[in-house]
Amino acid sequence: VRTLCLAALLGALGAGGTELTLELPDSAQRCFHQELESGIKFTLDYQVISGGHYDVDCYVEDPNGKTIYQETKKQYDSFSHRTEVKGVYTFCFSNEFSTFSHKIVYFDFQVGDEPPILPDMNNRVTALTQMESACVTIHEMLNAVIDSQTHYRLREAQDRSRAEELNGRVSYWSVGETLILFMVSIGQVMLLKSFFTEKRPSSSGAGT
Protein backbone atom coordinates (compact mmCIF):
# COMPACT_ATOMS: atom_id res chain seq x y z
CA VAL A 1 0.00 0.00 0.00
CA ARG A 2 2.87 2.36 0.82
CA THR A 3 4.41 1.69 -2.60
CA LEU A 4 1.14 2.49 -4.35
CA CYS A 5 0.77 5.66 -2.28
CA LEU A 6 4.31 6.83 -3.16
CA ALA A 7 3.75 6.07 -6.85
CA ALA A 8 0.53 8.06 -6.82
CA LEU A 9 2.26 11.04 -5.20
CA LEU A 10 5.11 10.99 -7.71
CA GLY A 11 2.68 10.76 -10.59
CA ALA A 12 0.67 13.72 -9.31
CA LEU A 13 3.81 15.80 -8.82
CA GLY A 14 4.90 15.08 -12.39
CA ALA A 15 2.13 17.13 -13.98
CA GLY A 16 3.04 18.94 -17.20
CA GLY A 17 4.73 22.29 -16.81
CA THR A 18 7.73 24.43 -17.67
CA GLU A 19 9.87 26.66 -15.46
CA LEU A 20 12.34 29.06 -17.03
CA THR A 21 14.45 32.05 -16.07
CA LEU A 22 15.25 34.38 -18.96
CA GLU A 23 17.21 37.58 -19.49
CA LEU A 24 15.19 40.36 -21.10
CA PRO A 25 17.40 43.11 -22.60
CA ASP A 26 16.32 46.73 -22.67
CA SER A 27 13.84 47.65 -25.44
CA ALA A 28 13.34 43.93 -26.17
CA GLN A 29 10.52 41.41 -26.18
CA ARG A 30 10.55 37.63 -25.77
CA CYS A 31 7.64 35.41 -26.81
CA PHE A 32 6.86 31.73 -26.22
CA HIS A 33 4.40 29.50 -28.06
CA GLN A 34 2.50 26.43 -26.90
CA GLU A 35 0.01 24.35 -28.86
CA LEU A 36 -2.98 23.40 -26.72
CA GLU A 37 -6.16 21.44 -27.20
CA SER A 38 -9.60 22.95 -26.57
CA GLY A 39 -10.85 22.83 -22.99
CA ILE A 40 -7.36 22.61 -21.45
CA LYS A 41 -6.53 24.73 -18.42
CA PHE A 42 -3.18 26.50 -18.24
CA THR A 43 -1.61 28.74 -15.60
CA LEU A 44 1.15 31.32 -16.05
CA ASP A 45 3.04 32.61 -13.02
CA TYR A 46 5.87 35.11 -13.44
CA GLN A 47 8.08 37.37 -11.37
CA VAL A 48 10.84 39.86 -12.18
CA ILE A 49 13.97 38.89 -10.25
CA SER A 50 16.25 41.82 -11.05
CA GLY A 51 16.62 44.92 -13.18
CA GLY A 52 15.27 48.46 -13.10
CA HIS A 53 12.14 48.79 -10.97
CA TYR A 54 11.51 45.03 -11.14
CA ASP A 55 8.62 45.42 -13.58
CA VAL A 56 7.72 44.00 -16.99
CA ASP A 57 4.86 43.98 -19.50
CA CYS A 58 3.13 40.67 -20.20
CA TYR A 59 0.33 39.57 -22.51
CA VAL A 60 -1.21 36.30 -23.69
CA GLU A 61 -2.91 35.72 -27.08
CA ASP A 62 -5.08 32.86 -28.29
CA PRO A 63 -4.69 31.24 -31.75
CA ASN A 64 -7.03 33.85 -33.27
CA GLY A 65 -4.80 36.72 -32.14
CA LYS A 66 -7.21 37.79 -29.40
CA THR A 67 -5.55 39.16 -26.26
CA ILE A 68 -6.87 37.23 -23.26
CA TYR A 69 -4.46 38.71 -20.71
CA GLN A 70 -2.46 41.94 -20.64
CA GLU A 71 -0.68 43.73 -17.81
CA THR A 72 1.89 46.55 -17.89
CA LYS A 73 4.78 47.16 -15.51
CA LYS A 74 3.99 44.30 -13.16
CA GLN A 75 6.52 42.90 -10.72
CA TYR A 76 4.72 39.56 -10.47
CA ASP A 77 1.35 38.06 -11.33
CA SER A 78 -0.55 34.82 -11.97
CA PHE A 79 -3.00 34.08 -14.79
CA SER A 80 -5.19 31.01 -15.30
CA HIS A 81 -7.35 30.28 -18.33
CA ARG A 82 -9.24 27.38 -19.88
CA THR A 83 -8.80 27.27 -23.65
CA GLU A 84 -11.82 27.69 -25.89
CA VAL A 85 -10.19 26.92 -29.24
CA LYS A 86 -7.46 24.55 -30.32
CA GLY A 87 -4.20 26.04 -31.60
CA VAL A 88 -1.00 27.81 -30.68
CA TYR A 89 -1.20 30.14 -27.69
CA THR A 90 1.42 32.88 -27.33
CA PHE A 91 2.62 34.63 -24.20
CA CYS A 92 5.17 37.44 -24.32
CA PHE A 93 7.28 39.45 -21.89
CA SER A 94 8.16 42.95 -23.00
CA ASN A 95 10.79 45.38 -21.72
CA GLU A 96 10.32 47.87 -24.57
CA PHE A 97 9.46 50.70 -22.18
CA SER A 98 12.96 50.53 -20.65
CA THR A 99 15.85 52.06 -22.59
CA PHE A 100 18.83 51.24 -20.36
CA SER A 101 18.06 48.45 -17.84
CA HIS A 102 17.69 44.77 -18.65
CA LYS A 103 15.55 42.42 -16.59
CA ILE A 104 15.72 38.82 -15.43
CA VAL A 105 12.29 37.19 -15.42
CA TYR A 106 11.19 33.86 -13.96
CA PHE A 107 8.01 32.17 -15.17
CA ASP A 108 6.21 28.90 -14.52
CA PHE A 109 3.83 27.64 -17.22
CA GLN A 110 1.58 24.77 -16.13
CA VAL A 111 -0.70 22.93 -18.57
CA GLY A 112 -3.65 20.71 -17.68
CA ASP A 113 -5.57 19.94 -14.53
CA GLU A 114 -3.79 18.14 -11.76
CA PRO A 115 -4.59 14.42 -12.01
CA PRO A 116 -6.28 12.76 -9.03
CA ILE A 117 -3.91 11.26 -6.49
CA LEU A 118 -5.87 8.01 -6.17
CA PRO A 119 -7.66 6.04 -8.91
CA ASP A 120 -11.34 6.98 -9.34
CA MET A 121 -11.02 9.48 -6.52
CA ASN A 122 -13.46 11.92 -8.12
CA ASN A 123 -16.12 9.23 -8.65
CA ARG A 124 -15.97 7.55 -5.27
CA VAL A 125 -19.04 7.43 -3.05
CA THR A 126 -17.35 5.88 -0.01
CA ALA A 127 -15.14 7.67 2.50
CA LEU A 128 -11.38 7.57 2.13
CA THR A 129 -9.45 5.10 4.23
CA GLN A 130 -6.87 6.28 6.73
CA MET A 131 -4.02 5.46 4.35
CA GLU A 132 -5.72 7.28 1.46
CA SER A 133 -6.37 10.32 3.63
CA ALA A 134 -2.71 10.29 4.65
CA CYS A 135 -1.68 10.21 0.96
CA VAL A 136 -3.88 13.23 0.20
CA THR A 137 -2.49 15.12 3.19
CA ILE A 138 1.12 14.32 2.25
CA HIS A 139 0.48 15.39 -1.34
CA GLU A 140 -0.96 18.73 -0.24
CA MET A 141 2.00 19.29 2.11
CA LEU A 142 4.49 18.46 -0.67
CA ASN A 143 2.80 20.97 -2.96
CA ALA A 144 3.03 23.59 -0.21
CA VAL A 145 6.73 22.79 0.25
CA ILE A 146 7.38 23.13 -3.50
CA ASP A 147 5.59 26.48 -3.61
CA SER A 148 7.51 27.70 -0.56
CA GLN A 149 10.86 26.60 -2.00
CA THR A 150 10.12 28.40 -5.26
CA HIS A 151 9.03 31.53 -3.41
CA TYR A 152 12.13 31.62 -1.19
CA ARG A 153 14.44 30.83 -4.12
CA LEU A 154 13.06 33.80 -6.05
CA ARG A 155 13.24 36.05 -2.99
CA GLU A 156 16.86 35.00 -2.43
CA ALA A 157 17.77 35.77 -6.05
CA GLN A 158 16.00 39.13 -5.88
CA ASP A 159 17.65 40.09 -2.58
CA ARG A 160 21.06 39.02 -3.90
CA SER A 161 20.59 41.22 -6.97
CA ARG A 162 19.64 44.18 -4.82
CA ALA A 163 22.59 43.58 -2.49
CA GLU A 164 25.01 43.46 -5.44
CA GLU A 165 23.52 46.66 -6.84
CA LEU A 166 23.82 48.39 -3.46
CA ASN A 167 27.38 47.14 -3.06
CA GLY A 168 28.29 48.63 -6.45
CA ARG A 169 26.79 51.99 -5.50
CA VAL A 170 28.67 52.01 -2.18
CA SER A 171 31.93 51.17 -3.97
CA TYR A 172 31.50 54.01 -6.50
CA TRP A 173 30.58 56.43 -3.69
CA SER A 174 33.67 55.40 -1.70
CA VAL A 175 35.94 55.93 -4.70
CA GLY A 176 34.40 59.37 -5.28
CA GLU A 177 34.86 60.35 -1.62
CA THR A 178 38.49 59.19 -1.75
CA LEU A 179 39.21 61.33 -4.81
CA ILE A 180 37.51 64.37 -3.25
CA LEU A 181 39.48 63.97 0.00
CA PHE A 182 42.71 63.62 -1.96
CA MET A 183 42.03 66.82 -3.92
CA VAL A 184 41.03 68.72 -0.76
CA SER A 185 44.21 67.55 1.00
CA ILE A 186 46.39 68.76 -1.88
CA GLY A 187 44.58 72.11 -1.88
CA GLN A 188 45.07 72.57 1.85
CA VAL A 189 48.77 71.76 1.62
CA MET A 190 49.26 74.26 -1.19
CA LEU A 191 47.27 76.91 0.69
CA LEU A 192 49.27 76.47 3.90
CA LYS A 193 52.51 76.53 1.94
CA SER A 194 51.55 79.86 0.41
CA PHE A 195 51.03 81.34 3.91
CA PHE A 196 54.56 80.52 5.07
CA THR A 197 56.39 81.45 1.89
CA GLU A 198 58.50 84.66 2.40
CA LYS A 199 58.46 87.19 -0.37
CA ARG A 200 61.89 88.89 -0.51
CA PRO A 201 61.85 92.55 -1.57
CA SER A 202 63.71 93.33 -4.75
CA SER A 203 67.06 95.19 -4.19
CA SER A 204 67.73 98.41 -6.14
CA GLY A 205 71.20 99.09 -7.56
CA ALA A 206 71.16 102.90 -6.90
CA GLY A 207 74.41 104.15 -5.34
CA THR A 208 75.36 107.38 -3.78
Convert the pLDDT of each residue in 10-47 to its tens digit: 344 345 678 888 889 988 999 999 999 999 999 999 98
Question: How many independent structural domains does the chain possess?
Answer: 2
pLDDT at position 146: 78
Same domain, 24 and 89: yes
Residue 117 near residue 45, CB atoms below 8 Å: no
For residue 1, pLDDT over 50 is answered with no
Residue 200 falls within a domain, yes or no?
Answer: no
Q: What is the mean pLDDT of the chain?
A: 80
DSSP 119: T
**Claim to verify: residue 35 and residue 51 sit in the same structural domain:** yes
- 21 occurs within a structural domain: yes
- Is residue 48 predicted with pLDDT exceeding 70? yes
Determine the pLDDT at residue 13. Answer: 39
Q: Do 109 and 130 sit in the same domain of this protein?
A: no
Both 103 and 176 in a single domain?
no
Are 63 and 88 contacting, i.e. CB atoms less than 8 angstroms apart?
yes
Kindly tell me if the per-residue pLDDT of 119 is higher than 80: no
**Gap between the Cα atoms of 180 and 51, Å rounded:** 30
In a domain, 7, yes or no: no
Helix (H/G/I), strand (E/B), else coil: 139 = helix
Has residue 150 been placed in a domain? Answer: yes
Look at residue 82 in the predicted model and tell me its pLDDT. 92
Model confidence at 123, pLDDT cuts 50, 70, 90, reads low
Q: How far apart are CA 103 and CA 57, in angstroms?
A: 11
| Residue 72 pLDDT grade (very low, low, confident, very high; cuts 50, 70, 90) | very high
Question: What's the confidence (pLDDT) of residue 79?
Answer: 92
Instruction: Report residue 153: phi and psi, to 5°.
Output: -65, -40
The verdict on 86 and 148 lying in the same domain is: no
pLDDT score of 6: 36
Residue 67 resides in a domain:
yes
Q: Is 140 found in the same domain as 68?
A: no
**Region 49-72 average pLDDT:** 91
Residue pLDDT, tens place only, 125-180:
566 677 777 777 887 788 788 778 877 877 787 778 778 888 888 998 999 999 99
144 is a domain residue? yes
Do 133 and 84 share a structural domain? no
Average pLDDT of span 183-207 = 73
Range of the domain at 178: 121-191
pLDDT band, very low/low/confident/very high, at 66 (cuts 50, 70, 90): very high
Whether residue 73 is found in the same domain as residue 129: no
Shared-domain flag, residues 102 and 176: no
Indicate the residue among 115, 134, 154 that finishes a domain.
115
Residue 171 and residue 106 in one domain: no
DSSP E strand boundaries for 9-63: 17-24, 29-36, 41-50, 56-61
User: Are 147 and 178 contained in the same domain?
Assistant: yes
Check residue 200 and give its pLDDT. 62
